[in-house]
C-alpha cells in the first residue's frame, strides 16, 4: 500500500472555506489595522453586514484590539476583552491571533454569558463571606440572651428548690436544658460561619503539639469522666513535638472532633495517636507541597472512639451541612456543621481529613497535616 501524500491532500483544501465554517468568529486584519475579510460568524457576533465591517478599523470594534492581537501572536495565548457591535451594545470576547506575512488572523469567541456567570458567582461568594463576617461579629449579641436564660434558670433551680412546685421545676429544667442545647448549636454554627468568612486568617507559628493535645484533653476531662470513658494518648511514633502550623486553628479542629467522639461514645475508649509521616507516605494523598525531601514534614493525628458509629446516610453529607437544610435530624445537621468546620480549617492548613466509621464499633477521625516551616508557606 502506498503511503498517503499529506502535502497533496492539504493542498486541495480551500483555507477560506475552512475559516468560514469554524465555530468562532474569524477576521483577517491588515497591518494598518483594517478588516479585510470576515466569516459569517463575525457578522452574527457584531450584528452587521459584511460591507459594514470590511474596511473598518479593528480598534473601533474591539477594545485594545491591536495591542491584544499582537500580544496574542507573540505570547501564543488568548486574551479577554470587551467589544462593541454595530448597534452600540457592549459584550465580552476571548481573542486569539496568529500572524501570517503582513496579516493577522484573529478568532473571537463571545464569552459574555460565561463572564456574567463568573461575575455573579464571585459577587455571590463575596456576599456569603460578608454575611459570615457579620454573623461572626454579632455572635456575642445572639448568644447573650441565651446565656442569661441559662444562668437565671439554673440559679432558680439551685436556690429555690423547696419553694418551687414539681411542675415549675420540670418547666425550668426543660428551659435550662433546651437553652444549653441551642447555645451549643449556635456556638458550632458561628464557628462554621467564622471559618467561611473573610475574617478567618491562618497564623502559623512554632509550638508544642503534645502540650496542645494534652490541654485539649484536660478541657474535656469532665465530660469524659461523666461518661466513665477510658482515655489513651500515644506519641511513641512522633519524632518531634515541635510543629509549625496555626495552633489556634488546629486546637479548634481537635476540639470539634473530640467533642463529636465523646458524644458518639457511651462506653469504652477514646484514643488520640500522633505520629510523624514520611513524605513518601503522603505524596499519594494529593497534599504533597514541598521540594525538600527531608523526613518529618507531616503529622498524622488519629482520634478513635468505640462508640455507636455514624450511619451511612449521615456520612453522605458529613462535610456538607447545606445538603441537610430540609432534614429533621438536628443531630446530623450539628455533626455536619462541626465536620464542615474541621474540613475547612484543615484544607486552609494544607492538609486532609478522613472519617472511617462502622455502626456499633466506632469511628476514626484521621488528620494529615504539613507541619514543617517552609518558604512556600511563609509567603502565603
Q: What is the pLDDT of residue 126?
A: 62
Q: What is the pLDDT of residue 131?
A: 67
Domains 6-110 and 205-378 share a fold: no
Q: Where are the domains of the chain?
A: 6-110, 125-196, 205-378
pLDDT at 106: 93
What is the pLDDT at residue 292? 46
- CA distances to 46, 124, 151, 171, 197 from 201, rounded to whole Å, are 46, 21, 33, 43, 9
pLDDT at 221: 93
pLDDT of the residue at 120:
62
* Bridge partner residues of 304 (DSSP): 271, 364
- CATH number given to 6-110: 3.30.450.20
Contacts of range 279-285, beta carbons closer than 8 Å, 24 or more positions apart: 282/368, 285/352, 285/368
Report field, pTM of the whole predicted structure over 0.85: no
Distance CA 32, CA 58 (A): 9
Beta strands 269-277 and 230-234 are: parallel
Backbone angles phi, psi at 210, to 5 degrees: -65, -45
**pLDDT at site 195:** 86
**Which CATH number applies to 205-378?**
3.30.565.10
Q: Report the 10 Å Cβ neighbour count for 206.
A: 11
Retrieve residue 144's grid coordinates.
447573650
138 near 75, Cβ under 8 Å? no
Dump pLDDT digits (tens) for 338-374. 999 999 999 989 889 999 999 999 999 999 998 876 5
pLDDT at position 4 is: 40
Dihedral sign for Cα atoms in the order 275, 280, 283, 284: negative
Please state at what angle helix 166-196 crosses helix 112-137, rounded to 10 degrees. 140
Positions of the chain with pLDDT under 70: 1-20, 114-133, 135, 284-296, 373-380
Q: Which pLDDT score, from 0 to 100, does residue 140 have?
A: 77
Q: What is the pLDDT of residue 284?
A: 67
What's the pLDDT at 95? 94
pLDDT, one tens digit per residue, over 21-44 is 778 899 999 989 999 999 999 999
Q: What is the pLDDT of residue 80?
A: 87
Amino acid at each position: 500500500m502506498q503511503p498517503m501524500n499529506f502535502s497533496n491532500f492539504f493542498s486541495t483544501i480551500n483555507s477560506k472555506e475552512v475559516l468560514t465554517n469554524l465555530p468562532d468568529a474569524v477576521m483577517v486584519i491588515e497591518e494598518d489595522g483594517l478588516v479585510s475579510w470576515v466569516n459569517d460568524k463575525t457578522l452574527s457576533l457584531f450584528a452587521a453586514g459584511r460591507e459594514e465591517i470590511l474596511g473598518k478599523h479593528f480598534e473601533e470594534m474591539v477594545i485594545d484590539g491591536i495591542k491584544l492581537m499582537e500580544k496574542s501572536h507573540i505570547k501564543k495565548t488568548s486574551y479577554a476583552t470587551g467589544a462593541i457591535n454595530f448597534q452600540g451594545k457592549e459584550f465580552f470576547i476571548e481573542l486569539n491571533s496568529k500572524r501570517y506575512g503582513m496579516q493577522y488572523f484573529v478568532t473571537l469567541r463571545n464569552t459574555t454569558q460565561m463572564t456574567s456567570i463568573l461575575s455573579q458567582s464571585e459577587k455571590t461568594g463575596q456576599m456569603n463571606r460578608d454575611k459570615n463576617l457579620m454573623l461572626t461579629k454579632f455572635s456575642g449579641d445572639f448568644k447573650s440572651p441565651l446565656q442569661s436564660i441559662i444562668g437565671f434558670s439554673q440559679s432558680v433551680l439551685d436556690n429555690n428548690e423547696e419553694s418551687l412546685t414539681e411542675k415549675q421545676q420540670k418547666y425550668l429544667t426543660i428551659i435550662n436544658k433546651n437553652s444549653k442545647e441551642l447555645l451549643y448549636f449556635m456556638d458550632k454554627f458561628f464557628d462554621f460561619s467564622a471559618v467561611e468568612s473573610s475574617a478567618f486568617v491562618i497564623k502559623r507559628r512554632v509550638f508544642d503539639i503534645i502540650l496542645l493535645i494534652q490541654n485539649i484533653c484536660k478541657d474535656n476531662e469532665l465530660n469524659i469522666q461523666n461518661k466513665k470513658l477510658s482515655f489513651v494518648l500515644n506519641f511513641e511514633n512522633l519524632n518531634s513535638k515541635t510543629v509549625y502550623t496555626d495552633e489556634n486553628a488546629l486546637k479548634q479542629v481537635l476540639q470539634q472532633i473530640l467533642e463529636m467522639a465523646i458524644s458518639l461514645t457511651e462506653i469504652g475508649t477514646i484514643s488520640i495517636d500522633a505520629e510523624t509521616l514520611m513524605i513518601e507516605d503522603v505524596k499519594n494523598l494529593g497534599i504533597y507541597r514541598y521540594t525538600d525531601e527531608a523526613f518529618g514534614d507531616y503529622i498524622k493525628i488519629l482520634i478513635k472512639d468505640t462508640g455507636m458509629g455514624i450511619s451511612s446516610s449521615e456520612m453522605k453529607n458529613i462535610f456538607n451541612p447545606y445538603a441537610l437544610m430540609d432534614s429533621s435530624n438536628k443531630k446530623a445537621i450539628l455533626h455536619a456543621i462541626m465536620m464542615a468546620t474541621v474540613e475547612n480549617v484543615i484544607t486552609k492548613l494544607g492538609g486532609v481529613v478522613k472519617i472511617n466509621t462502622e455502626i456499633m464499633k466506632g469511628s476514626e477521625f484521621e488528620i494529615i497535616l504539613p507541619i514543617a516551616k517552609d518558604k512556600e508557606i511563609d509567603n502565603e
